[in-house]
């Protein structure tokens, strides 16, 4: 059954015990293939506490210190984003097993795990390359990873009034947004925070970025789509003299006057897709397009 020995790195959601059930099916399936299983340390310790695992994995790793043929993300899209951050420039393909809710990234259902793993061993899958963006702050280091698969957002703090965001594209002045924030999203992130603020849905292989304001003060300000080889420069003014930068949802506080630069990262994240999956059918299903609520 097994054509070759393969290594799998497992990441999961260690915050919600009810979502840990799928890992048993995943591990059992991998063991039948005699795969080498490596588990992210926080997730492994969680599984041990929950008495979900009763075997010794091939290894337990920290941060991005692993080598594998595939990464398995067990959870929702948030778990997938954290796994993607840890994969970084390794180019290891990621399989998302959906134990969450919406699941645009983690789109293998728990009942499809066995089929999906079998397809990996048979080589019957496709790999999509998804663009990543990075942020740099002039004169002030940003803690943690500067890379985002979904989006980078500049936001006012909870107790602050709206902020002013002077925006330039490739050195050319665009506009100064008076708003609660500004979202720079990749095509992957176009169905996330940007969408909830009125941004467009962008197909994954489009080479674009979208700039979407959050609650703009002016009603004639609209989202804009630009080429993904563009460099975006932001200068922020705030009455509280600081603001938040959210990188795939992870927030950091920065001081007013810090000039931000956002550009496409030098690597992409590789996402495994089953050949029976189609983007537009997934979009219809997840967004409930065409559903008649009157019935």
Question: CA-to-CA distance for 147 and 209, rounded, in angstroms?
Answer: 14
Long-range CB contacts (within 8 A, 24+) of 228-231: 228/131, 228/186, 228/264, 229/264, 230/169, 230/170, 230/263, 231/169, 231/170, 231/171, 231/261, 231/262, 231/263
Of 40, 62, 69, 77, which residue is the catalytic one?
Answer: 77
Rg (CA), the chain: 20
Q: Which two tokens stand for residue 241?
A: 């003299």
Is 159 among the catalytic positions? no
Angle made by CA atoms 264, 270, 273, in degrees to the nearest 5: 135
Q: Which two tokens stand for residue 283?
A: 């979009």
CB of 254 closer than 8 Å to CB of 137: yes
Residues annotated as part of the active site: 77
């Amino acid at each position: 059954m097994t054509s070759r020995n393969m290594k799998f790195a497992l990441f999961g959601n260690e915050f919600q015990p009810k979502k840990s059930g799928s890992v048993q099916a995943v591990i059992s399936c991998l063991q039948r293939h005699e795969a080498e299983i490596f588990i992210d340390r926080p997730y492994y310790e969680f599984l041990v506490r929950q008495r979900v695992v009763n075997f010794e994995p091939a290894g337990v790793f920290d941060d991005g210190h692993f080598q594998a043929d595939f990464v398995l993300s067990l959870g929702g899209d948030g778990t997938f984003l954290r796994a993607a951050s840890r994969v970084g420039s390794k180019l290891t393909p990621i399989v998302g097993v959906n134990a969450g809710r919406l699941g645009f990234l983690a789109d293998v259902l728990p009942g499809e795990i066995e089929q999906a793993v079998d397809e990996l061993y048979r080589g019957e899958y496709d790999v999509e390359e998804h663009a990543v963006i990075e942020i740099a702050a002039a004169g002030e280091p940003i803690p943690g990873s500067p890379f985002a698969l979904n989006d980078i957002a500049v936001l006012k703090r909870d107790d602050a009034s709206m902020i002013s965001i002077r925006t330039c594209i490739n050195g050319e002045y665009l506009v100064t947004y008076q708003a609660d924030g500004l979202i720079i999203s990749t095509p992957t992130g176009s169905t996330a925070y940007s969408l909830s603020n009125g941004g467009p849905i962008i197909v994954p292989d489009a080479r674009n970025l979208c700039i979407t304001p959050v609650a703009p003060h002016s009603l004639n300000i609209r989202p804009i789509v630009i080429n993904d080889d563009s460099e975006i420069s932001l200068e922020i003014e705030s009455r509280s003299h600081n603001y938040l930068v959210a990188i795939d949802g992870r927030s950091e506080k920065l001081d007013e006057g810090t000039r931000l630069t956002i550009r496409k990262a030098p690597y992409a994240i590789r996402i495994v897709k089953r050949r029976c999956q189609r983007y537009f059918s997934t979009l219809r299903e997840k967004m409930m397009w065409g559903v008649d609520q009157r019935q």
